[in-house]
Amino acid sequence: MRYQAKGIMKLGFLSSVLIIVLAGCQGGTKGQLTGVQGREKWYEATPYGMVYIPAGSFNMGPSDQDVPYAITAQSKTVTLPAYWMDNTEITNNEYRQFVYWVRDSLAHRLLGGEHLVSEGEYDEHINWKAKIKWDDEANQETLAELFLPETERFYRRKEIDTRKLNFEYYWIDLKSAAQKDYTAPPENSAGSLANRPQGRTDRSVYIKKDIINIYPDTLSWISDYAYAYHEPYTQMYFWHPAYDEYPVVGISWKQARAFCIWRTQFMNGYLAESGDSYGSDFRLPTEAEWEYAARGGLELSPYPWGGPYIRNSRGCFLGNFKPMRGSYQDDGGVYTVKVTSYWPNDYGLYCMAGNVAEWTSNAFDESAYSFTHDISTDYEYDAKESDSPTLKRKVIRGGSWKDVMYYLQTGTRTYEYQDTAKCYIGFRCVRSFLGRDKSDY
């Protein structure tokens, strides 16, 4: 075996020399198929705050009794490629970076001049190197548009008008672009591309645009519960430093999607300046990706830490939920807790059960497991404002601080409407791994 290995290494070395010689002599490749030379070697470093989830197969669905007999999840063998996942739920401080970016982008555009960089008549970019002088008297009149009018101020506090924090973003609807119109006449000489609405010339029909207010619904702490005193959380939870490492809540599904698109563009902007190639996009996990990661490699366990119990050997609760008959404090937190408050699962993921429920990218359908594919299982529907509430359901997973233990199980699925924001729902991002697995490196 040792001599065989040496022979393979020698053959590989000679092949490399041959390619170099062919590429460097009289006319480059000399007519040989060598591939495009000089391309950069790709190595994807672990994205900050994320962990690697290896490719694999698992039995998706309940690992225990279907207590409510909901029959919305059946056992299904699913295979997934490798991907990255945030090791914690997105925190208040991380989401605040998004809020500040939107606020500052609006300020730069209002100020103009050195705050914008023009590249042609229709291409205008923000100059992020220019400092925003919020206290400069010359800027205050221009920037006044971003603040609450004096008639709406409380004790004359000059505060940002969060209703102005609107984010404009785009994405490409690849699923629509991939659809074929099989009713087209077979004699059409343009081929299958002509069966698509844009033909061969214009793909703009698949470029989607949306504008959304990205500020969390801090009033959800009050509106979600009648006859409960949650005013301190409405006033302090998102902004006070005491809650920086707590999971962001009051985020709708559409806001979570906007955050993922912003995070992708924010990273790609840095990579473009440094001359590096882009990686894959940040996005919400599919329902299958979320469950596979939550299981942490434990195939039959109903909880991320194993099972079937929700306490450890010393009687301590292993997640933040509603224990017993409502003794919320028994697990260490009355409401949410810091995102790293409990031990991670075997993949290094914190709070995959409890704390806050988490948005996934998938639309909710009771029979989805019956018709989705068994590889990279996915079911999406981009509901319009005019659609019925049933079509606006999105899958949430993991259970929250206010849920009973059934909802903390890895196989339990439920839903919330995409245009609603709750004080018990947050999210985390994933990113597809480029390649087969880390052994490729």
Instruction: Please state the domain extents for the chain.
Output: 2-39, 76-440
The reported pLDDT for the residue numbered 195 is 55
Pick the more confident residue, 273 or 190: 273
The reported pLDDT for the residue numbered 120 is 53
> For 196-222, what is the mean pLDDT?
86
CB 380 within 8 A of CB 361: yes
The reported pLDDT for the residue numbered 9 is 43
User: Does the pLDDT at position 4 exceed 70?
Assistant: no
Residue 19's pLDDT band (cuts 50, 70, 90):
very low
CA atoms within 13 A on the CB side of 16: 6
Q: How far is CA 348 from CA 81, 203, 342, in A?
A: 18, 41, 11
The reported pLDDT for the residue numbered 72 is 81
Pick the more confident residue, 127 or 42: 127
Q: What is the mean pLDDT of the chain?
A: 87
Max CA-CA distance within the chain? 85
Q: Name 172's bridge partners.
A: 207
The reported pLDDT for the residue numbered 194 is 55
Q: Name 213's bridge partners.
A: 166
Number of H helices, E strands in the chain: 9, 14
> For 199-212, what is the mean pLDDT?
83
User: Does the pLDDT at position 191 exceed 70?
Assistant: no
Distance CA 428, CA 407 (A): 18
Q: What is the DSSP string of 3-49?
A: HHHHHHHHHHHHHHHHHHHHHHSSSTTTT-----TTPPPP--PPPTT
Distance CA 276, CA 272 (A): 6
Residue 199's pLDDT band (cuts 50, 70, 90):
low
> For 349-369, what is the mean pLDDT?
96
CA atoms within 13 A on the CB side of 294: 37
CA atoms within 13 A on the CB side of 59: 10
Residue 70's pLDDT band (cuts 50, 70, 90):
confident
CB 96 within 8 A of CB 392: no
Say what the alpha-carbon torsion angle 261, 267, 270, 276 is, to the nearest 10 degrees.
-110
Q: How far is CA 119 from CA 111, 124, 125, 438, in A?
A: 18, 6, 8, 40
Pick the more confident residue, 127 or 199: 127
User: Does the pLDDT at position 8 exceed 50?
Assistant: no
Helix (H) or strand (E) holding 172: strand 166-172
| Span 308-350, pLDDT tens digits | 889 988 889 999 999 988 899 999 999 999 999 999 999 999 9
Distance CA 406, CA 400 (A): 11
User: Does the pLDDT at position 109 exceed 70?
Assistant: yes
CB 271 within 8 A of CB 259: no
Provide the 8-state DSSP code for 391: G
Work out whether the CA dihedral 269, 272, 274, 278 comes out positive or negative: positive
Distance CA 107, CA 263 (A): 20
Percentage of the chain with pLDDT > 90? 65
3 state DSSP class of 260: helix
Residue 230's pLDDT band (cuts 50, 70, 90):
very high
> Which tokens is 266 given?
């924010």
Burial level of 130, CB count in 10 A (0-12/13-18/19+)?
Answer: middle
The reported pLDDT for the residue numbered 325 is 86
User: Does the pLDDT at position 150 exceed 80?
Assistant: yes
Q: How far is CA 86 from CA 15, 89, 293, 430, in A?
A: 41, 7, 10, 6
User: Does the pLDDT at position 241 exceed 90?
Assistant: yes
The reported pLDDT for the residue numbered 18 is 43
User: Does the pLDDT at position 7 exceed 50?
Assistant: no
Residues 6+ apart with CB under 8 A from 186: none
User: Does the pLDDT at position 10 exceed 80?
Assistant: no
CB 209 within 8 A of CB 170: yes
pTM of the model: 0.89
> Which tokens is 190 given?
């343009």
User: Does the pLDDT at position 244 exceed 90?
Assistant: yes
Residue type, 161: D
The reported pLDDT for the residue numbered 200 is 58
Strands 357-363 and 425-426: parallel
Report residue 417: phi and psi, to 5°.
-80, 140
3 state DSSP class of 166: strand
3 state DSSP class of 55: coil
CB 277 within 8 A of CB 235: no
Residue 2's pLDDT band (cuts 50, 70, 90):
very low
